[in-house]
Amino acid sequence: WGLAPRGEHSVSPRTISREYALVCHGRFVAQARGEQDYFDPNGLATASEGCKSNALMRCCKDLGIASELWDPSFIRKFKSEVCVDVMTEHATTKKRKKLWRRKDARFEYPYKEI
């Protein structure tokens, strides 16, 4: 499979977008427009990759791939069975924030549980 661009990037002062086609085994499967915000013109290359990832996510959503991720009842059940919400602190800013994590995982830098 692959993503094929279907035109040039559309660049505004803060957003970049581009339309892509999802092609599998040489056949057209879906198309979507990806977009990404950017704040520095030097970050256009990174924003362009973000735009491509956004288009892939939208193509997959159209096909029903991982559709449970948009289902609130699935999300609530998954969080209650597999995750915990804990209070964390950012190592450098010291800001506290409640974040979700898997029960079998730990936070990495810059966050730590408090």
Q: What are 73-108's pLDDT values in tens digits? A: 999 999 999 999 999 999 999 999 999 999 999 999
Strand partners, 33: 19
Q: What pLDDT, on a 0 to 100 scale, did the predictor assign at position 95? A: 97
Report pTM. 0.67
Residue 46 CA to residue 92 CA, distance in Å, equals 25
Total domains in the fold of the chain: 2
Residues comprising the chain, all counted? 114
pLDDT over 90 (residue 3)? yes
Mean pLDDT of the region 18-26: 97
Residues 105 and 79 reside in one and the same domain: yes
Residues 7 and 30 reside in one and the same domain: yes
pLDDT over 90 (residue 47)? yes
Q: What pLDDT, on a 0 to 100 scale, did the predictor assign at position 69? A: 85
End-to-end CA distance of the chain: 44
Q: 62 is in which domain, residue-wise?
A: 2-67
Q: Using the 3D structure, point to which of 50, 67, 84 is the last residue of a domain.
A: 67
SS3 (DSSP) at 79: helix
Mean pLDDT of the region 51-61: 95
Residues 12 and 53 reside in one and the same domain: yes
Residues 11 and 61 reside in one and the same domain: yes
Residues 109 and 78 reside in one and the same domain: yes
Residues 44 and 90 reside in one and the same domain: no
The overall average pLDDT reported for the chain is 95
